[in-house]
Amino acid sequence: MRHGGKRLKRDIKMSLQQTILLMLFILLLFFCMMFMIATSIIIKKTEDDFKIRTSETAVNNVVSTIKASLVNYNYLSRLIMVNDRVVGFLKAEEIDRDKIYEARSSISEIQILYSNIDSVYILRNDGEHVSTGIGDYSIDMNSSERSDILDAHGTTVFSINGNGTFIKMGGKPLLTMSRAVYDINSQKLLGILRMNISSNVFDDTFTLQNSGGMCILDSYGTLLCGNKEIGSLYDSDYNSESMVYKNIRLGGEKKTLTGRLAVKPLVVLCASGKGAEALPRDTIYALMLTLTAFILSFMVCAWFITVNIARPIRNLSAAMERTRSSGWLKKIDTEMPNNEIGRLAESYNSMIEYLNQLFNRQLEDEKNVQKAEMRVLQEQIKPHFLYNTLETISYMAVQENACKVHDALETLGSFYRNFLSKGDREIPLQRELRITQDYLSLQKMRYGDIFEDEYILDDTTLNYMVPKLILQPLVENCIYHGVRPKGEKCVIRITIRMEEGGLYIIVYDSGVGMSTEQIKNVLEASREDDIKILSGFGLRGTINRIRYYYDYDNVIQIRSEPGEYTEIEIYIPKMREMKTEGGKSCTEL
């Protein structure tokens, strides 16, 4: 069940090509989304700019209209000021009905030239006045207003409702033009002319403007005409001859309030209205072309990555999977591009070739080990036949009362019985030690009392499993190459102990010893020499059998003093305990 889950998990994983395409698709969606956001921002910005330009144009048009109209009305006021009957009314010592009538008639004749003049007032210095107009007015010109007019020295002063001095009962606000009247010759002040112009003069101008609302007011915020809600948003910042822009909220909608000073103190305000075609077609075409080019670039990029990266990697992965499923390490024969992926395939093929060489070498080594073991078996000199023959001779020696012969044959039989070990490659260390003891007993019978054997054993190590015949060749080496050449009685000591998870077997003899060169030849034999001497029973053959058996090179140390002693220490790693036939526990190394 677990393997099935792993296989399913592996199957549902996306391939590199699918991952790349998914990533490119996500990037494409992200770019399209950002493109749409950016386009919306551009459209909104362009539309806002268009609205601002529209309101700015509307303000400038109204300002131009106001200035043009005031030029005409200013000209009309000059006609009234120089009229003989009007001047006569202002200069008269005493006034009567005729002078008032004549002055009013002259003003009316001039006033009729412009339909939007609501009324005209001519005020003498003594407070008497003559006026024209429709409706009732409340007139109350204070000293401050009079002072402002006289300070202008004959130039026009504009105000709304005369800054409160003219109030038309139930009527709309008026634009009041005021100026002082002087004698042409003496430049003596004769009086004041005040002309009230109806706000209807600007209605047609407002109607022609495409705006969200306009108004005209004075620097005090007094509305002359237009949208009252916009007029309520006025502040003193708009008392500037340059255009002023402010963001406002009108009717729950964000707008821009544009305004400027037309003629002091008249201010024109305009709120931005609905835009027309905000984004030019050329700009739209350029944006669409950019989007199309980007999408095509993404498609080309996806095709390039698929063909040159994702597909070769997929082919490489499939080839590796075929090699793995076949159970053999084979080289990849799929054609790969000449790039990093191709070099990766070449590296993989080189690795496969190297592994195959290692496997072949390992197989060859294993064959050599098996051959060596076969030679060891062949060297047993038909042990079963020999063992049976020895039993027969031992029985005959007992019948003939040859006790020493019987003991020798018993020892030799025990030696071969343990030597055979039912053909096992591994035996308990106790049995290996028994083989060695029997061998030494036989050698004492042959050579007499030329050596003594001693044993220092750790009882906990006797049940460990070791390769057969690793100890007997070492003591044989001691006898033939150490004890016999010395010609005097020597000691052969076997020490077995456990340290740091490994088994240490030390064979000591007080023979002739070994030179440094001899030790070096034993320890530094080449691999080819190792293979050749695997069939031998000597020191080097034993060392190399242990090396191959445990796949561990550092298994031996040799310490020697020429003419004094030789000590061989063998280290066997990786021990494990096993059960013997008798039920006792053994440990395998």
Between the alpha carbon of residue 108 and those of residues 71, 102, 114, 171, the distances in Å are: 20, 10, 10, 21
Distance CA 456, CA 121 (A): 146
Residue 554 confidence (pLDDT): 80
The DSSP output letter for 423 is G
Domain membership of residue 174 (yes or no) is yes
Domain with 531 in it: 424-588
Q: What is the pTM of this model?
A: 0.47
Domain membership of residue 450 (yes or no) is yes
CATH of the domain at 545: 3.30.565.10
Domain membership of residue 155 (yes or no) is yes
Distance CA 383, CA 414 (A): 12
Q: Which of 249, 271, 293 is the last residue of a domain?
A: 271
Is the N-terminal amide bond of 485 cis, ω within 30° of 0?
A: no
CATH of the domain at 146: 3.30.450.20
Distance CA 469, CA 539 (A): 11
Domain membership of residue 548 (yes or no) is yes
Domains of the chain: total: 2
Which pair of structure tokens corresponds to residue 143? Answer: 């000293």
User: Cβ of 423: how many Cβ atoms within 10 Å?
Assistant: 7
Would you call 184 helix, strand, or coil by DSSP? coil
Q: Which of 214, 243, 271 is the last residue of a domain?
A: 271
Residue 138 confidence (pLDDT): 63
Domain membership of residue 200 (yes or no) is yes
Domain membership of residue 294 (yes or no) is no
Domain membership of residue 21 (yes or no) is no
Residue 528 confidence (pLDDT): 44
Query: CA dihedral in degrees (209, 214, 219, 225; nearest 10)?
Result: 100
Distance CA 188, CA 87 (A): 12
Domain membership of residue 79 (yes or no) is yes
Q: Which of 271, 300, 330 is the last residue of a domain?
A: 271
Mode of pairing for the β-strands spanning 157-160 and 490-499? unpaired
Cβ burial of 514 (10 Å; 0-12, 13-18, 19+) is buried
Place of tokens 């105000």: 159
Full 3-state SS string of 51-93:
HHHHHHHHHHHHHHHHHHHHHHHHHHHHHHHCCHHHHHHHHCC
Distance CA 588, CA 426 (A): 8
Distance CA 521, CA 363 (A): 27
Q: What is the pLDDT along the chain (589 residues), one digit of tens a residue?
A: 444 444 434 444 566 667 777 887 888 888 888 888 888 887 777 777 777 888 888 888 888 888 888 888 888 889 888 888 888 888 888 888 888 888 888 888 888 887 788 888 888 888 888 888 765 566 667 777 888 888 888 888 888 887 777 776 666 788 888 999 998 888 899 899 988 888 887 777 777 776 668 888 888 888 888 888 888 889 989 988 899 998 888 877 888 889 999 888 899 999 876 655 556 677 777 878 887 887 888 788 878 777 777 777 777 777 777 776 666 677 776 777 777 777 777 787 788 788 888 888 888 877 777 666 656 555 544 454 455 556 566 656 666 666 666 666 666 666 666 655 555 678 888 988 988 888 888 788 777 788 899 999 988 888 888 888 888 888 988 988 889 898 889 999 999 998 877 889 999 999 999 998 888 888 875 444 444 433 334 677 777 777 777 777 788 889 999 989 999 998 887 654 444 444 444 444 4
Residue 175 confidence (pLDDT): 86
